[in-house]
Chains A and B, each alone.
Chain A
Amino acid sequence: MGNIWVHAETSDGIVSSITLELLAKARELGEVTVFHAGADAEQAAGELGGHGATRILTTGDLDNGLPGPALAAAVAAKATEESPSAILFGTTYGGRDVAGRLSVKMDAPVITNIVDLLDDDGLTGVEPVFGGATNVKTRFTGETPGIFLIRPKSFNAESAGGGAAAVETLTIPDLGATGSAKVTNRFVEESDGPKLDEAGIVVSGGRGLGEADNFQMIEDLAGKLGGAAGASRAIVDAGWVPYSYQVGQTGKVVKPDVYIAAGISGATQHMVGMKGSKTIIAINKDPEAPIFSIADLGIVGDVHKVLPALLEAIGE
């Protein structure tokens, strides 16, 4: 398959889980180079190498600039020299920025929302549509390397036991105005429980909760079960909870052991983000709600009665 380039996302030298997932697939397909923005490439070299990358191309410190323009311009220049056969990104905030800019720099299309990659007469991406009811397989026909944006949790991260990857610094071309956005402050929103996309148990609420204050029941239940709270798009749009809570096509993809959907009807938008859960419990007053078609246990009932009773039964 040749050379596969993978966008590596790190934070203080720790490699993000989606990058490790992509590396597990990439090393099956060919020789793996990662590209990276930030000052921590040396720190991350051991972990990236251990997961199959032989080389890290890095911009180094960007002096609080956003990674999109700089990394895309530097990688486009390097890719023109080396012609990798495919370039893989995770569907993250940063990944989409770099992929979008890179596609313009290289005049190369992007195939998005991929959940699997097949080496089938050219690299082929599998994309679920209609809430995961249908799979579409797409491959590139052009001359440029294929750019793929891959959804989180598509592959299982696993160490391959390799040595540290070699670090090589990229030259950043002049960015003009595109490089002028600067981060002035970073805020980490502390939460007591596990992260939404890493939690073993996720409790999500939707419009069936009736009003914003009732979301507290979702938080309470998630807290008692040691899980994370999530939300449907409807209540994020309504401003009840921030976007970071959203589970679905336009939010986080979760695959917990247990997913509890309370007052969520199961729009395709939501289902695509959670139907990979190991088990699903749904509570909804509408017996026709689509969520029941994928639930292992469905309770047709009023969340305002079921949730308080459940909270009391579980106790502390």
Chain B
Amino acid sequence: MKVAVCVKQIPDPADPGAINPETRTLNRDVKLILDESDSYGVEMALQLVGEDGEVVLISMVPNNERNGLNNALAMGADSAILVSDDALSGSDALSTAKVLAAAIQRTEPDLVLAATESSDGYTGTVPEQVAELLGLPSVTFAKEVTVDSGNVAVKRQTEDGYDEVDCPLPALVSVTAGVVEPRYPSFKGIMAAKSKPVEELSLSDLGIETSTVGWAGGRQEIVSIEPAPEREAGEIIEDEGDGYERIVTFLQEMKVI
């Protein structure tokens, strides 16, 4: 079985940087790391394919950054396709999905995995857009995934609990965080990653017009970026064994107890 996993390289969420006032987009000229959300998809893929299958990573960046991709290869993925093109800068979810779908199509996978949403943009629409572009059925927000004889069975998170969903392959599944426990790359894995094939493609390699992605493809304008009204801090006290009493008093004043 061949599984394609969409992975995103993002600025470290602990230090996300700032919005560039000229382009009005997040400054991505910093070291990028593998989005933690995507480590679940990579782990899930590795577990599903077992010994004989193949895991292909699919990623896009405006600046041929590979740091995060190398991390996923070190976890055990077999190869990667990296779409790298200056024109991708400012791409919205739909443009991103068009690029990822075109790259995925080249690999003809049995299953496409993605996180439910990225940690930096968190639109949560890309997986479903990719599925529609590829003409695939999809099951989003998976909390458990099993594959058996050309079929994928998913426990899908719902507002009230979960649904069990059956879907024939090929299909796309988006996985929630915590669905599996991502492995840490071993030293051997890190060394092996260096020699794994990474196919780097431009938009023209994929036959995509630059005007349909990036800023132009978004067909939207950012009108303003303003600080939100701030919430003021209240009383901060050091607990000296009586902290709980302050909470009790607060809850009594709120008439909660």
Contacts and interface: CB of A to CB of B under 8 A. Distances in A.
B129 A100 contact: yes
A181 B137 CA distance: 6
Contacts of A239: 178, 181
A79 interface: no
Interface string B162-175: 11111110010000
Interface in A243-274: 243-244, 246, 249-250, 257-258, 260, 267-269
Interface stretch (A30-38, A133-141, A154-162): A133-141
B132 A105 contact: yes
Contacts of A108: 94
A183 B163 contact: yes
Contacts of B227: 133-135
Given A101-B129, A103-B94, A297 B247 contact: yes
A108 B98 CA distance: 12
B235 interface: yes
B247 A109 contact: no
A136 B25 CA distance: 10
Interface in A224-253: 225, 233, 236-239, 242-244, 246, 249-250
Interface string B95-124: 101000000000000000000110100111
A25 B85 CA distance: 40
- Chain B contact residues: helix, strand, loop or mixed: mixed
A113 B122 contact: yes
B222 A136 contact: yes
A250 B122 contact: yes
Interface string B220-239: 11111111101101111111
Interface stretch (B64-72, B188-196, B202-210, B249-257): B249-257
A310 interface: yes
Interface stretch (B1-9, B45-53, B74-82, B152-160): B152-160
Given A135-B226, A187-B163, A243-B157, A299 B239 contact: yes
B19 interface: yes
A1 interface: no
B178 A250 contact: no
B140 A187 contact: no
B167 A113 contact: no
Contacts of A242: 143, 178
A140 B93 contact: no
Contacts of B235: 296-298
B248 interface: yes
Nearest to A312: B244
Nearest to B242: A309
Interface residues of B, number: 84
Interface in B13-32: 13, 16, 19, 24
A281 interface: yes
Given A237-B36, A244-B157, A298-B235, A258 B256 contact: yes
A96 B161 contact: no
A279 B125 contact: no
Contact of B247 (A99, A182, A299): A299
Given A178-B131, A201-B256, A138 B223 contact: yes
A298 B225 contact: no
Nearest to A121: B223
A149 interface: yes
A86 to B, nearest CB: 13
A282 B237 CA distance: 10
B16 A112 contact: no
Interface string A163-183: 000000000000011111111
Could you say which of A128, A142, A186 has the most chain B C-beta atoms within 10 Å of its C-beta? A186
A237 B239 contact: no
Nearest to B118: A250
Contact of B234 (A177, A184, A268, A297): A297
B33 interface: no
A308 to B, nearest CB: 9
A109 B256 contact: no
A104 B165 contact: no
B164 A300 contact: no
Given A111-B220, A178-B137, A188-B160, A298 B236 contact: yes
Interface of B: 13, 16, 19, 24, 36-37, 92-95, 97, 116-117, 119, 122-129, 131-133, 135-141, 143, 156-168, 171, 176-178, 181, 217-228, 230-231, 233-239, 241, 243-248, 250-251, 254, 256-257
15 contacts: A16-B159, A92-B159, A100-B125, A103-B125, A130-B16, A136-B24, A140-B220, A179-B137, A181-B137, A183-B164, A189-B161, A237-B178, A239-B181, A297-B247, A300-B236
Given A180-B167, A298-B233, 10 more contacts: A120-B223, A180-B137, A181-B167, A185-B164, A269-B13, A269-B119, A295-B233, A297-B247, A298-B237, A309-B244
What 6 pairs across the A-B complex have the smallest Cβ distances?
A301-B239, A100-B128, A142-B219, A296-B234, A298-B236, A181-B167
